[in-house]
Amino acid sequence: MNPTALEQLTDTTSYGHIAHLPIWPAITPEIVEPGVRAQLDEVRREFEQLESNHEVSWDGLMVPLESMNDRLGNAIGRISHLLGVDYSDELQQAYDAVRPAYIELANDMSQSVAIYGAMKALAETEEGQSLSEARSRILSESIRAMERSGVHLQADDKARYQALSTQLSDLSTKFRNNLVAEEKESRVIATSAAEVAGVPKAILDMAVAKAKSDGVEGANSENGPWHFVVNGVNYAVVQNGENRDLRERFLRAFRARGTTDGYDNTDILLAMLKKRQELAALVGFANYADYSLDAKMAPDVDTVWSLFEELEKAAKPAAIRERAALVDFIRAAGAPEADDLQPWDVAYWAEKQQQALYGYDSEALREYFPLPIVVQGLFELTNTLYGVTFEEVTDGSVPLWHEDVRFYQMLRDGEPIAGFYFDPYARPGAKRAGAWMNTVVDRSARLAPDGMPTSLPVGFMIQNARPPADGKPALMSLAEVRTLFHEFGHLTQLMFTRVEEAGVSGINLVEWDTVEVASQFNEFWMDYPPFLEKLTSHVDTGEHLDRETIDRIIDSRTYMAGNGVLGQLVLGKTDLRAHERYGVPGSGDNRSPFEMEQDIIAQTRVMPSLPGDSFLHSITHLFAGGYAAGYFSYKWAEVMAADAFSAFEEVGLDNSDGVREVAQRFEDTVLSLGGSKPAAETYRLFRGRDATPEALLRSQGLLQGNG
């Protein structure tokens, strides 16, 4: 008997005790629409029955709600994931066909007066008053989420809220899809060897291969032509290319993403900003920034602006000195750019200056960072800190969505406690840019397989590193290694969770501005020389990178730190200002978000910018992700991450017993408690106090007196 579309969409398998693993190859475009519609119908029937006939108890109310939300999230989440890693127009069309109905049901569930009343009643019962801390937080945050979703609204306003939610989802999809489709078509073409001088061989090889796939007969590595896809992988053209014209052409194309004919995101993002303001106003907030911060650790917008001011005050003097030193360096090299520094010159000359100051070539260093060695080193660090080991599943029993993907299980004392998928390489046009982590299976007592007290958490970790070439493993840049550590830090918060209530296990209900703490904390280990040395093994000789070079790499972590902070502040300020004022009646600010951005750039940056340059058209974080009015979260969390790492520094990084003791405390709190407590409480349990910016500024060489 053939399985139904719903069965194919939701079917799972197990690997030992790791259960609920999706059958990715079975999720094809033709089963998406019938499968999701069947799931929606099934859940709607159950929800309507629960509305009319429910017990005011945890088991009678919250457990069935968890089951419904879990099934809905799994069905739509699997499709959304595949669109990010294995995009096709057919899959997108199928997803688009069912997304409005999904959003409608989700809104109906979040605006149910009957369920809201039952939750409020449960909170007042004897059972509600004696719930565990985890369940109590799930209940209180569920009530608050329904209030933020407009449960109190009258019928017309509820309908308007639902319409706005659907429209925002549609616009978000269009925003992301424009960028994916544009990347498929975008090219910067070079036709002579002189044009591509200095560009790394791996990038040139990919560009020749792309020219061939574009139908250019006779394309070869000696004579080209070279077709560079306009994406982050090929940004090495700007960093390493000696030809100023090629650098300019690539940078202009890179910064123009989301603005070209047929892929222009301008009207989309303007509409999204206005609709977000209307949605926030409907549920009682002055603006979308206030709405966003209502669910975050940061108490209010003024507190975030104060953090921005404190960081800028520390970074700007350093950034001014950095620019002056870069210009002096260019002038000493006899280059005309010294008197006409342009945006496409900064990354190139910064790379040259960094080589001169610290004695290493970032591109050449790749040979010391083969991806398998880096992954092995990451696993060894995790073992040292938390006492766990990792095994790759190689027998083909775990379904994967692409041949590049690997699946690992994490074990403690030989027993699996979690698992994760790793998808490391760029696939232009099929895989969206960037790096990210997400949950596949929550830790949950309700999802426990037979003979187990709980399900084991499973996540995925996605990167866009250069793929292997010339018969060698993938060779990683320092930035790609750091990204790997960052995303794996997110995974640790999922995999080490001990909470068995799915609603607060892993990263669930962790405030968005603290969800980056574990990831950014993990990056700090790359600045510890003995560990960084372990990550290195020359691709041909197997030799470790020498300690002198490693010390210089770590010393260089403060290179251009001032400008790096200012760059992040431009993003955070623009995001917050636009969501605070644009489209808000009575705000007194009639500027467009692009004008706001230009003013912030002029006030904040010290390096040259392209006229009218805007990141808004291409930043999926804000318009196709979860960072709207929340980009500040990276800096907010970075303050906490640096402060957390300083706890290890205080006991001495060479003190293995002390490090292990602090790591145990970090695991017992930040990594294991998930959203069962407010993030501020969890952090105080670990550190004994609130975080301060001092450790971050010190690590970046930006404390007053650091020079």
- Per-residue exposure over 495-516, b if at least 16 CB sit within 10 Å of its own CB, e if not: bbbebbbbbbbbbbbbbbbbbb
- Comparing C-alpha atoms, which of 214, 217, 210, 215 is closest to residue 231? 210
Q: State both tokens at 203.
A: 């990038």
Contacts of 705 (CB under 8 A, 6+ apart): none
Long-range contacts formed by 28-34: CB under 8 A, 24+ apart: 28/91, 29/88, 29/90, 29/91, 29/93, 29/94, 30/94, 31/5, 32/5, 32/79, 32/91, 32/94, 32/95, 32/97, 32/98, 33/5, 33/94, 33/97, 33/98, 34/4, 34/5, 34/6
* DSSP reduced 3-state for 199: coil
Bridge partners of 210, per DSSP, are none
Residue that has been written with the tokens 């930040």 in this structure: 670
Residues that are catalytic: 487
CB atoms within 10 A of CB 471: 5
> Residue 542: helix, strand or coil by DSSP?
coil
Here the tokens at position 496 are 């080490």
The whole-angstrom separation of Cα 652 and Cα 157 is: 58
Contact yes or no for 502/70 (Cβ under 8 A): yes
Dist. CA 639–CA 513, nearest whole Å: 11
Residues ≥6 apart with Cβ < 8 Å to 89? none
Q: Helix crossing, 593-604 with 266-282: angle to 10°? A: 100
The residue type at 132: S
- d(CA 168, CA 170) in angstroms, rounded, equals 5
Q: Which of 467, 427, 429 is nearest to 203 (CA)?
A: 467
Residues 364 and 362: their CA atoms lie apart, in Å, by 6
Classify residue 396 by its DSSP letter.
S
Query: What is the DSSP pairing of strand 406-412 with strand 415-425?
Result: antiparallel
DSSP letters, 422-476, are EEEE--TTTS-SS-EEEEEE---STTPPTT-SSPPPEEEEEEEEPPPBTTB--B-
415-425 vs 458-465, strand pairing mode:
parallel
Spatial CB neighbours of 20, under 8 Å, sequence gap ≥ 6: 12, 14, 440, 441, 447, 449, 455, 458
Cα-flanking dihedrals φ and ψ of residue 406, to 5°? Answer: -120, 150
What is the separation, in whole angstroms, between the first and last Cα of the chain? 74
CA–CA separation, 640 vs 692, rounded Å?
7
CA distance 479 to 473: 17
Nearest to 479 by CA among 247, 233, 241, 311: 233
410/16 Cα distance (integer angstroms): 12
β-bridge pairing 406-412 and 389-392: antiparallel
Nearest to 210 by CA among 189, 196, 195, 194: 189
